[in-house]
Structure 1
Amino acid sequence: MLKAYTPDNGRLQSADSVEAHDAAVVWVDLLSPTDEEEQAVEAWLGVGVPTRDEMEEIEISSRLYAEDGAHFMTATLPAKADGDRPEMAPVTFVLAAGKLATIRYHEPRSFETFPQRAEKVALGCQDGESILIALLEVIVDREADILERAGREIGEIAHGIFHPAERQVSKRDRNFQIILRKIGRKEELLSNMQDSLLSLQRLCGFLSTLMGKSDREARARVKTLQRDVASISDHAATLSQKITFLLDATLGMISIEQNAIIKIFSVVAVIFLPPTLVASIYGMNFEKMPELSWSFGYPLALVIMVASAVLPFLYFKRRGWL
């Protein structure tokens, strides 16, 4: 799919095609392009666009470079990020002769909301550089929103760990299993977001070197972008540390629950050990046992067994072991 845009007093207007408005088009967005669309954009841009395999290279030299007077910048961006498993894929931005081309194979929400907003509000979209800066601002805002949502959900997980609603041990155990899965999903989300923010941080650093001859406002916006990405990265690192703490806390809670259960079994075993000893003694089949001829021998044995069970229980209770 190919979408072309032309500037209109700081706004963006959709164009029918690149060929029909060749001179006026300043931004072309390629989504899973066909060979014909790639050829049309290469003719309009004057340079070749990278293939999908080239976009997925992880080396910095393959993601941020200049070639034939054009500058290529690739960042990993999330799509379908309303859940805990966003679709992560690279997006390449190509700046050449005041024109911008974006190549992607997934659908980050920023590429849907930005053109809609730019058609209604003047965002200073006059050339490829200004459009790229405005688009990156929307992308960074979107990633901040994702982390804000993740932070709220992590807070809910923490409340579930330290303030469990269930009183029964069996139900709490099931809740801890659910919490562990939630923690795992949040860790995966934060890991993906940190990778994305790292690629954006490198992209903004590379872009700042291209702004040397640009106007002061553009340079200031790029510097603000760099600060925003750095602060969001710090926030993501803080959330990642909190997730690690919650994982340790959850495992600690599970260990405490298991130890409490084992302690109960141990105490019960100790309590019933003396009665078992008494019953074992009087269960012996010896001929000469004086108590066998006593009329009160059987009640006395029962009293001794009950007492030998109650006294250890009261002792444990007094010491606070139960």
Structure 2
Amino acid sequence: MIKAYGATDGRLQLREAGLAPTESVIWIDLLSPSDDEEAAVELALGVDLPSRKEMREIEQSSRLYTADGAQFMTAMIPAHSDSDAPEMEPVTFVLVGARLVTIRYHDPKAFGLFVHRASKGHMPCATGEEVMLGLLEVMVDRLGDVLEHAGQSIESLSRRIFARDSGRNRRGPRWQIMLEDIGRKGGLISTIRDSLGTLDRLAVFFGQRLRNENHASHLPEDQLDRLHDLSSDIRSLADHAGFVAQKVNFLLDATLGMISIEQNTVMQIFSVVSVVFLPPTLVASVYGMNFASMPELSWPWGYPAALGLILTSALVPYLFFRRKGWL
């Protein structure tokens, strides 16, 4: 699908460009484009757009390069990041003169947010470079919101893990649920860190290319400042994401430690119970022997005495363990 946008009175507006973009178009957004749509844009702009397979290349030289007078920049952007299972796919930005072409095969929320804000006149969008800068700012803001929400969820998990509740509530499937939650949050944080890393390299490449190729006239000082602030925000978010990732690892270790402590407690109870029942078992075994010359066999009170001895031999170890705090 092709969406073409132009700018009127500082507002972004959708154009009816069809397969061949007109001169008034400054941004062409290709969402899961067909072969015909991709070929039409390539013919109109005179550039060779990367395929989906090429967009997924992990080498930096395959993600950030200049060809045919155009700049090609690819970053990994998550979609459905409100959930714990975001969809991570590449988004390619192609700057051809004053036009921007974006190629994507998923629908990150940042695109819709940017279109909504730019159509209200809240963001500069006179050129493709301004559109790209605005898109990057919204993407970074969106990642920051997701990271903040993930951090709050991890804090809630931390309180649940270290809560002083009853032993009965701490057992069973509760730990399994927490491990699953920690694993999902860890995967989400890892996704955000990967995305921030690619955006950081993209922002540096974007700024260097604009300056090295004498395109500074397209970016006034205020927008150069925005680009600098964008890079600073990306790095600060990356540092915060690293901190949150460390906390996730800590909670994972703590949860495994809690499980180990609980298992040790259960084994301790079994060990104590075994020791408590060992003396009564010994007494019962002695009086269970069938020897004719056992004097206790002829005692009228032999049976009650044996029961009392069994009870006493069980009670004494129990009281001893209670006094030591082992039960």
TM-score interval for Structure 1 and Structure 2 normalised by the shorter chain: over 0.9
Shift of 1:21: 6.1
Kindly report which structure 2 residues correspond to 1:1-322, keeping only aligned pairs within 5 A, or say none.
1-17=1-17, 22-163=22-163, 165=165, 167-168=167-168, 172-212=171-211, 213=216, 214-322=219-327
Q: One-letter code of the match for 1:194?
A: R
C-alpha distance in 1, partners of 2:223/2:310?
Answer: 89
C-alpha distance in 2, partners of 1:164/1:77?
Answer: 40
Q: One-letter code of the match for 2:226?
A: R
TM-score (norm 1): 0.96
Shift of 1:215: 2.2
C-alpha distance in 2, partners of 1:141/1:193?
Answer: 12
Give per-residue Cα distances to partners, 1:196-231, cap 9 Å, x unaligned. Answer: 111101101101102322321221111111110111
Aligned residues: CA RMSD: 1.5
C-alpha distance in 1, partners of 2:285/2:122?
Answer: 93
**Is the contact between residue 21 and residue 41 of structure 2 (CA under 8 Å) also seen in structure 1?**
no
Shift of 1:191: 1.2
For residues 20 and 94 of structure 1, do their structure 2 counterparts lie closer, same or farther at Cα, with a shift above 3 Å needed? closer
C-alpha distance in 2, partners of 1:191/1:18?
Answer: 39
Shift of 1:298: 1.3
Q: One-letter code of the match for 1:94?
A: V
Shift of 1:319: 1.4
Secondary structure of the corresponding residue to residue 33 of structure 2:
coil
**Is the contact between residue 20 and residue 41 of structure 2 (CA under 8 Å) also seen in structure 1?**
no
**Is the contact between residue 19 and residue 37 of structure 2 (CA under 8 Å) also seen in structure 1?**
no
Secondary structure of the corresponding residue to residue 246 of structure 1:
helix
TM-score (norm 2): 0.95
**Identity among equivalent pairs (%):** 52
**Is the contact between residue 278 and residue 305 of structure 1 (CA under 8 Å) also seen in structure 2?**
yes
Where in structure 2 are there 5+ consecutive unaligned residues?
none
Q: One-letter code of the match for 1:64?
A: L
C-alpha distance in 1, partners of 2:166/2:279?
Answer: 36
Give per-residue Cα distances to partners, 1:247-281, cap 9 Å, x unaligned. Answer: 11111111111111111111111111111111111
How many pairs were matched up?
321
Secondary structure of the corresponding residue to residue 241 of structure 1:
helix
Give per-residue Cα distances to partners, 1:34-69, cap 9 Å, x unaligned. Answer: 122112222332212111111111100000000111
**Is the contact between residue 18 and residue 44 of structure 1 (CA under 8 Å) also seen in structure 2?**
no
The answer to which of 41-50 and 92-101 deviates more is 41-50
Secondary structure of the corresponding residue to residue 173 of structure 1:
coil
Q: One-letter code of the match for 1:5?
A: Y
Q: One-letter code of the match for 2:193?
A: Q
Where in structure 1 are there 5+ consecutive unaligned residues?
none
C-alpha distance in 2, partners of 1:257/1:181?
Answer: 18
Secondary structure of the corresponding residue to residue 168 of structure 1:
helix
For residues 249 and 10 of structure 1, do their structure 2 counterparts lie closer, same or farther at Cα, with a shift above 3 Å needed? same
For residues 122 and 299 of structure 1, do their structure 2 counterparts lie closer, same or farther at Cα, with a shift above 3 Å needed? closer
